[in-house]
Amino acid sequence: MAPPITLHTLDGKQISLQDLRGKVVIVTFWATWCVPCRDELPVLSRYAQAHAGDGLAVLGFSLDSPDDIEQVRAVARSLSFPVGLLGDPHVPGYGRIWHLPVSFTIDRDGRLVDNGWKDREPAWTSQQLEQIVTPLLDRAH
């Protein structure tokens, strides 16, 4: 099972993995200073928007410091999924987030099906999303 995690969004909401049971969830960790993240985030955002009606949810955790909140907000405005600051890079069950971007995919039953630590190419591409995530969306509950 995927370790529990809760996103505290920039606009003050809380979204927990438990609340999203029944959806396919991508938990992604990124930062404004991460060059590969700048390429990945628009790809992930377009995919999330295209598949929102298929039961996909994306939670974006920024590793930026609270001092950089304005840059984070600027990036977040361009994304189709909720974003929040991670705070502590030690995330129970996911380890210390030290390499960015890194993402974890969780199926509709709450199982971790793609562990980003094992991916050779950590940044999502459209092809990876189609290969890994789309089949999970196609599986009806």
Q: Is the pLDDT of residue 134 over 90?
A: yes
What whole-number distance in Å separates Cα of residue 76 and Cα of residue 83?
6
**CA-based nearest residue to 116, from 102, 128, 126:** 102
79 contacts: CB under 8 Å, gap ≥ 6:
41, 44, 45, 48, 60
User: Residue holding tokens 């991670």?
Assistant: 86
Q: Is the pLDDT of residue 97 over 80?
A: yes
For the chain, the domains span: 6-138
The per-residue pLDDT for 122 is: 65
Average pLDDT of span 14-24: 95
Q: Are strands 95-96 and 6-8 parallel, antiparallel or unpaired?
A: unpaired
CATH of segment(s) 6-138 = 3.40.30.10
Residues 19, 31 contacting (CB under 8 angstroms): no
Q: Is the pLDDT of residue 52 over 80?
A: yes
